């Protein structure tokens, strides 16, 4: 029996890394460092990790189309412009409760 090939996908250390999501259209993996309010992005074909500062805790991402993503954060659902990183609140989720935040999740077509 042959040994499996194992490698490190990213050297970036997250304080609380969750919410991995794959975008087949771009062959890219996304995940979050929730506590530090970061969205991480890395193409599976290789290359460096891109770190996007969100300014708030987030834990789930869904691709809307090639220009927009939907991100669940501690304050609600936000539409993120891929080109600029600008986040626009779509729907607040218990914004009056500071102990509420989104948690790890998955998206399915």
Residues 6+ apart with CB under 8 A from 54: 37, 38, 39, 71, 73, 87
Q: Which pTM was predicted? A: 0.88
The pLDDT tens digits for 67-77 are 999 999 989 99
Could you tell me the domains of the chain? 17-92 (2.40.10.480)
What is the rounded CA–CA span in Å between residue 67 and residue 83?
7
The pLDDT tens digits for 8-32 are 888 899 998 888 999 999 999 999 9
Angle made by CA atoms 68, 72, 76, in degrees to the nearest 5? 105
Angle made by CA atoms 20, 101, 19, in degrees to the nearest 5? 5
């Amino acid at each position: 029996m042959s040994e499996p090939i194992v490698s490190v996908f990213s050297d970036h250390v997250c304080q609380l890394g969750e919410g991995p999501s794959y975008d087949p259209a771009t062959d890219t993996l996304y995940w979050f460092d929730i506590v530090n309010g970061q969205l991480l992005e890395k193409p599976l074909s290789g290359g460096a990790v891109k770190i996007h500062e969100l300014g708030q805790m987030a834990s789930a991402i869904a691709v809307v189309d090639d220009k927009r993503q939907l991100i669940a954060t501690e304050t609600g659902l936000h539409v993120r412009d891929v080109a600029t990183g600008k986040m626009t609140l779509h729907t607040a989720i218990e914004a009056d409760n500071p102990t509420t935040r989104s948690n790890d999740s998955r998206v399915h077509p």
